[in-house]
Chains A and B, each alone.
Chain A
Amino acid sequence: MFHRESGVFKTSYAADMALYPLPIARYAVAAFAGLFIVIAPLALGEYYISILNLVLIAVVGALGLNILVGYTGQISIGHGAFMSVGAYTAANLVTHLGAPFWITIPAGGIMAALIGAVVGIPSLRIKGIYLAIATLAAQLIIEWTINHVTWISGGVQASIQVPRPSLFGIPLKTQTQLYLFLMAFVLLAIVGTSNLVRSRIGRAFIAIRDQDIAAEIIGINIFRYKLWAFAISSFYAGVTGVLYTYYLGIANYEQFQITVSIDYLAMVIIGGLGSILGSILGALFVTLLPILTRWFLEDYGWLLFAQQDLQNAIPNLRLILFGALIIFFLVVEPEGLNRLWRNIRNYFRVWPFSY
C-alpha cells in the first residue's frame, strides 16, 4: 500500500504525541480537506450539499455524545433536549438582543453545558440503565418546560424565527454558504475532540470508563470529571442545536424530541464507541442510509412491485432495510463501523504479504 510506516522513527515525546505521526497522514488530511472545503461545494449540486449539511450537523452532535458515552462510559438519552436548550438560548439571544452567531453559538453551548452538568449529577450515584432513565427524565422535563414557558419558547407555537447568520454583513443563505459555515464548526469540533481525548481530561474520562473505582484510587476526582464529561458533551449538543436553528431559520422544540436522542445514540453505537472517526461514520450512516435506500428502491423497486404499490412500499421497505442493515453491520462488527474500517485497513496494511 501507499502508506508505509517503516523508516519513521520517533525521537521525542512531541513526535510520539503528534496528531499525525506520519508525514503522509498530514498530506492526506490536506488533500481531503481540500476536497471537502473547495471541490465539494463547487462540484456538487444544491441538493447534495443540503444532504451533506444535515450530515455535518449530525457529526457535531455525535461527537459530543461520543465523549460522554464512548469515552466516559456514561449514558444519556437526553441529548435531544440539550440541543433544544442551545437552540432556544440562541434564538432568544438573536431575537431580543440581535446577537451575531459568534456569540450565540458559544452561548447556546454554555447554557446546554450548565444544564447538562446538572443533569449529570445523578451519574455520581447511579450507572448504566438507571442513569439512562434519569437522563430520560431530563429530556421530558426540558421538553415540557420549553413547551409551556412562553418566555423561553416565544409563544404557544413554541417556535422562534431566527434570521440567517451573516458574516461581514453578508447573510449566509444558499446551501453552499451554509455548508462552509457548518464545515467550519465541524472542523472545530473534530479538532477539539481529538485534542480533548489526548489531554489530561480525556485520559481521566477513559480511566473512569474502564474502571471508575480504579480511577478514583489513582487520584482522579470522579465527581469533577463526570460532570465535566456531561458538560462538554452537552456543550456539543447545544452547539448542534444552534447550528440546526441557523440552518432551518427557526427554533422549534419538536425537532429535538426523544427520537432525536435515540437517533444520536444509534449513530454513536453504530459508528463505534470511543472513536472520533466512529462518530463521523455513524452520523453519515444514520443520516444517509435512509436516503440511499430510498434512491435504491426508487430505481429498482419496480422489479419487486407494481408501479401503483411502489409509493406505499417504498417507505415501509425502507424502514425494514434500514433496520436490517443496522443489525447486519453490528453483527459483522459489534464494535461499530470504526472497527470495521480498522480491520480493513489492517488487512491492507501488510497486503499482499500478510505474514
Chain B
Amino acid sequence: MRWTWGAIMGVAAGATAALCLAGNARAQQKEVIIGGMCDRTGPTQVNGAGICPGIQDYFDLVNSKGGIEGYKIKYEEIDHEYKVPPAVEAYEREKGDGATSVLVYGSPQVQALYRKMEEDKIPGTSPGFGIAASADGKRFPYLFPLAATYWSQGAAAVQFVKDKLGGSLKGKKIAYLFYDNPAGREPIPVIEDLQKIEGFELRTFAVPPPAVEMGAQMLDITQRYRPDFVIDHLFGSGPSVAIKEFKRNGYPLSKVVALVWASGEHDIVGAGGWPVAEGYHTMSFAGVGDDYPVREEIKAMYKAQGKEPPKAMNDTVMYNRGLLWAALHVEATRNAIKANGGNKPTGEEVKKGFESIRDFGLGGLVPPLEVTAADHQGGGWVQIFQVKGGKFVKETEWFRAYPEVVAEAVKKGE
C-alpha cells in the first residue's frame, strides 16, 4: 500500500515527460490548420476507407495548387475507431494545435463535442449524420451539417417514393427498415409527419445492432406486410445483408430506397455484386461516379508524382463525399481569409465563412448549397441513383423535399 501512491505518481510523471518530448515543434509558416477525425478502423470503417482518403487527397490537391489564398493547409487526421474518448482527445489536440475548423466524424462524437466547439468557437462539420436539429444555426451556432440531415433524407425518400408510385401516396404502404440506434430512429418523426400529410400507411422495422441478422424483420416485411416501397436506413454491414435478404425473399430491389449510409459501392459489392442489387435505389449528398473535373485533377496530381491513383477512388460514393467535405472546409476558410483581408482566420471567421457558402458546385459534385446563419444545412439536397447494369445511374437531379415539414421539425427541436 505504501508504494501505491508513489507508483501512480511515478508512472504519471514518466508519461508526462514522454508527452513533453513527443510534443513536436514544427516550423512556422503561412498555414491554416484543419482538424479531422476519421475511422479507417472500427465498426464503420467501410465508410471511412473511402471518405478519409478523399479528404486527404482534396487537401493535397489544394496545397499542390498553392493552398488557400497563399495559406497552406495542414490537415491533422486522427483515427478514433468510432469511439468517443479518443474523439475527445483528438479534438483537444487539434484545438491545442490551433485548428480553425474540425471535421467531426460520427453521430455520438458530434453529440459529445458540439458543446465544446461552441465554447471554444471552433466550427465543426458533420455532413449526412450528427444531429438533425443542428440545421438550426441559431441553436447550434458552431455545428454545420452542411448536407442533408436525417430528417431531410427521410423527407426526400418519401418524396421519391411518391414520385415512383405515381404522384400519390394515399393508401400506399411504406416500410421503414432501420438500425435500432438514435441515428437510425432519427428520421421517424419527420416520416410520421409526412404520413399525416400524404396519408400513407407506415410500419417501422427495427434491426438491433450490429444489424447483420434481420431474417425475421425481412420475412415480416416481404411476406406479411408486403409494402409498396421500403425505406432502408441501415449502417455498417447492414445494408449488404438487407440487399441479400430482399433478394432471397423475392422482393424487388427496385422498390427499395436507401438513405445515404446504405448507398455505397461497398454495400453493393458486399451483397454479392452488382447483378444481385439490380434496381436498388440509393441516395447521396455528394455526386456519384467518376465524371467530375476534380477527380481528374486528383488523378493528374498522382500522375505528376509518378504514382497510381489510390484504390479508394473506385469507391466513388464515399470518396466523393470526402471530397465534398474537404472542399467545403476549404471554401469556408477561403471565404474567411477573403473577408478579413488576407490574415490568418480565426474559428469565428471560419464559421462566418461557412455561413457564406453559395453556389459552390465543384463541377456538380456539390449540391447548390446555400448555407446561412440560420440554416446550417444549406438546403438539404440529395440525388437518387439506381443500380443498373453494373453501375449507379442517376435518377434525379439535386432535389429537396418538404422543406416546410423539415423546417417545422427543426423548429420543434427534438
Contacts and interface: CB of A to CB of B under 8 A. Distances in A.
B27 interface: no
Contacts of B86: 290-291
Interface string B31-67: 0000000111100000000001100100010000000
Given A40-B16, A48-B16, A315-B81, A248 B112 contact: yes
Interface in B84-124: 84-86, 88-89, 92-93, 95-96, 107-108, 111-113, 115-116, 119
Contact of A194 (B4, B22, B116, B182): B4
Interface string A160-199: 0100000000000101000000000000001000100000
Interface in A296-355: 296, 298-299, 308, 311-312, 314-316, 318-319, 341-342, 345
A44 B40 contact: no
B76 to A, nearest CB: 9
Contacts of B13: 35
B88 A281 contact: no
Contacts of A276: 1, 4
B78 A44 contact: no
Contact of A299 (B7, B22, B85): B22
Given A54-B85, A280-B8, A290-B86, A173 B119 contact: yes
Nearest to A31: B9
B28 interface: no
Interface residues on B, range: 35 or more
Interface residues of A, number: 68
B29 interface: no
A95 to B, nearest CB: 12
Nearest to A140: B208
A299 B24 CA distance: 8
Interface string B180-216: 1110011011000000000000000000100000000
A255 B39 CA distance: 16
B112 A250 contact: yes
B111 A159 contact: yes
A65 B108 CA distance: 25
B132 to A, nearest CB: 8
Contacts of A25: 2-3, 5-6
Nearest to A24: B2
B111 A157 contact: yes
B92 A175 contact: yes
A79 interface: no
B227 to A, nearest CB: 22
Contacts of A159: 111, 182
| Closest CB pairs A-B (n = 8) | A32-B9, A315-B79, A25-B2, A47-B96, A254-B108, A50-B92, A29-B5, A249-B115
18 contacts: A28-B5, A33-B5, A44-B19, A50-B88, A54-B89, A156-B182, A157-B111, A157-B186, A255-B84, A280-B4, A281-B8, A291-B86, A295-B22, A308-B56, A311-B53, A312-B52, A315-B39, A315-B41
